[in-house]
Structure 1
Amino acid sequence: MKLQIVPARTGLQWVQLGLRTFRSQPLALAALFFLAMASMSLVTILPLIGPVIALAMLPSATLAMMVAASEAAHGRKPTPALLLVAFRSGQQHLHSMLVLGGLYAAGFLLIIGVSSLVDGGTFASVYMGAAPMTREIAELPEFQSAMWLSMGLYLPLSMLFWHAPGLVHWHGIAPAKALFFSWVACVRNIGAFVAFGLGWAAVFVAFGMALAIVTGILAALIGSVAGGIMVATAMMLAAMFFTSIVFTFRDCFSPPDEVADLQIP
């Protein structure tokens, strides 16, 4: 494994590759993403530990989408069984993925805890679904401060875990080293990741504008259908985004053949 430095324009290529790959297998990739999110949502039903377990499942869900995107890019159809790929790669990988999940949950809860020091836990309650979002709450200065603080703290957490699942799965690297290498790769390729983020922001805005027009028309005719379209589009965009992650991994490291020879449809 060798860290690779890529030009900033590569970030836009990652967006394009994600969109093309999703277009090659839209139903399979969208279904896999939906199953992953549905599984995490169901786990939150468990009292006390449910939300923590759901957070710990995110690295495994990310890995599932990375492997699924790799399958699609090789011309193969991803299957729902890939949802368990993190748990079917041997005891060592299983242990490493469980450790990653626990560390991610701990890091996220730490961020939520820090935000509670700013607004007394209002943002944390809203984010975790324990309290409804209202206009009055959203306009509170303390709530906004806690929100921006959480977003700022989540960025380094995201950088630590961005490549970590792929490094554990494809390179067999220990969790602590995977987090370190992920952080270094993101920092060294910050230009490409900024372009990647801006590219996806543009995609989201474009889809949002088109969706606003469509739902505006449908709302006047069939209001319930418009709401369903908004939810489905949001899920589809999220699936597209997660599909593109494997290409950031492929270009930031010298990957194994399974990822290195991706043939984009």
Structure 2
Amino acid sequence: MKLNIVPARTGLTWVKLGISTFIKQPLALSGLFFMFMALLSVATMVPFIGAALALALLPAATLGLMAATQEAAKGNFPMPSILISAFRAGRQQMRAMLVLGALYALGFLMLMAVSALFDGGQFARLYLVGGKITEELVLQGDFQVAMWVAMGLYLPLSVLFWHAPALVHWHGVSPVKSLFFSFMACYKNFGAMTVFGLAWTGVFVLAAVAVALIASLAGNPMLANVAMFPVALVIVAMFFTSIYFTFRDSFEATPEDAPASADDAS
């Protein structure tokens, strides 16, 4: 496995590829994204361990969407079974993916524990367990500090796990090493990753402005609230589609890499 250093403008290319690939297979990729969301939602319903279980499944589920994107980029129609590619690649890789998921859940719960030091756990409980969001709660200084602390800590966590599922699945890298390689890839391609993030932020902002403008021209401001939710879901699905290309262009397979299973993208 070889790390590729790409120019900053590649970040914009990743966004374009995510959007264009999604447009090629909109029904399949949007359907798989909704299945992805449903899987995590069902996991959260498991008593006592629901939140941790959903977090542990996130790397494997994200890998499934990446495998689906790989198939769509080849011009193939990704079937629903591709979403569980991580658990069909052999016992060793399945075990490694479960370990990776456990590490992600542990890391996320630890950052929530740190945020709880600032507001007594109000933000953490709201995020992990759910509850009613009130204006009074959101305006509390301690709650806002906890929220920003959690967001700040999530950035390095996401960098560690950004490429990790794909490295475990397609390159046979061990879970701990995959975190190191993921971090190094994001660090070395900081410019491209920054452009990638800013470009997607721009897409969300432009979509919100467009929806608000259309609702205003239609003389129905409430239309913006109704329409923005499905529009946002489609954009998020496109975002997840683009993640595969950030991995594809950041790493190059070498002969000594572990061969992928025949079930990789089926």
* TM-score (norm: length of structure 2): 0.91
Give the match for residue 169 of structure 1: 169
Deviation at 1:60, TM superposition (A): 0.9
- How far, CA to CA, are the matches of 2:218 and 2:96 in structure 1? 48
List alignment gaps of at least 5 residues for structure 2. Answer: 261-266
Task: Answer whether contact 1:123 1:146 (CA < 8 A) is retained.
Answer: yes
Do 2:99 and 2:175's aligned partners in 1 also have CA atoms closer than 8 Å? yes
Query: Residue type of the partner of 2:182?
Result: S
| Structure 1 residue 219 displacement after superposition | 8.9
Task: Decide whether the 8 Å contact of 2:2 with 2:254 is kept in 1.
Answer: no
1:64 maps to: 64
**Residue 264 of structure 2: aligned partner:** none
1:9-57 deviation per Cα after TM superposition (whole angstroms, max 9, x unaligned): 1111111111111111111101001001111101111111111101111
Q: How much has 1:213 moved relative to structure 2? A: 3.2
The AA in structure 1 aligned to 2:99 is V
Alignment-derived partner of residue 213 in structure 1? 213
Aligned match for 1:248, one of 222, 243, 246: 246
Distance 1:134 1:5 in 2: 46
What is the Cα deviation at residue 182 of structure 1? 0.3
Q: d(CA) in 1 for partners of 2:49 and 2:130? A: 14
In structure 2, the CA distance between the partners of 1:41 and 1:214, relative to structure 1 (3 Å rule), is farther
Please, which of 236, 239, 251 is the counterpart of residue 238 of structure 1?
A: 236
Q: Once superposed, what is the RMSD of the aligned Cα atoms?
A: 2.1
Unaligned runs of 5+ in 1: 260-265
Q: Is the CA contact 1:170–1:256 (under 8 Å) kept in the aligned structure 2?
A: no
Report what 1:100 is aligned to: 100
Q: Which amino acid aligns with 2:118?
A: V
Q: CA deviation at 1:137?
A: 1.3
Quote the sequence identity (%): 53
CA deviation map 1:93-144 (0-9, x unaligned): 1001101111101100101111000011111122224321121111111111
**Secondary structure at the residue paired with 1:246?**
helix
State the match for 1:190 in structure 2: 190
Counterpart position of 2:159: 159
Q: For the residues of structure 1 that align with 2:85 and 2:216, how far apart are their CA atoms? A: 41
Count of paired positions? 257
Query: Is residue 143 of structure 2 the alignment partner of residue 143 of structure 1?
Result: yes
Shift of 1:208: 1.1
- CA–CA separation in structure 2 for the residues paired with 1:67 and 1:8: 25
- Measure the CA separation in 2 of the matches of 1:218 and 1:97: 49
Q: Would you say the 8 A contact 1:11–1:196 is kept in 2?
A: yes
Report the TM-score, using the length of structure 1 for normalisation.
0.91
Q: Distance in 2 between matches of 1:215 and 1:101?
A: 42
Distance 1:226 1:199, change over 3 A: closer
Once the two structures are overlaid, the 10-residue window that deviates more, 58-67 or 212-221, is: 212-221
**Structure 2 residue identity aligned to 1:252:** S
Q: Which residue of 2 aligns with 1:121?
A: 121
Q: In 2 relative to 1, CA 140–219 (structure 1 residues): closer, same or farther, beyond 3 Å? A: farther
Deviations 1:181-240 (A, max 9, x none): 00111111111100000000000101111222345577949x6x7655332222211110
Question: 1:86 touches 1:93 (CA, 8 Å); kept in 2?
Answer: yes
CA 1:216–1:99 in structure 2 vs 1: closer, same or farther (change >3 Å)? Answer: farther
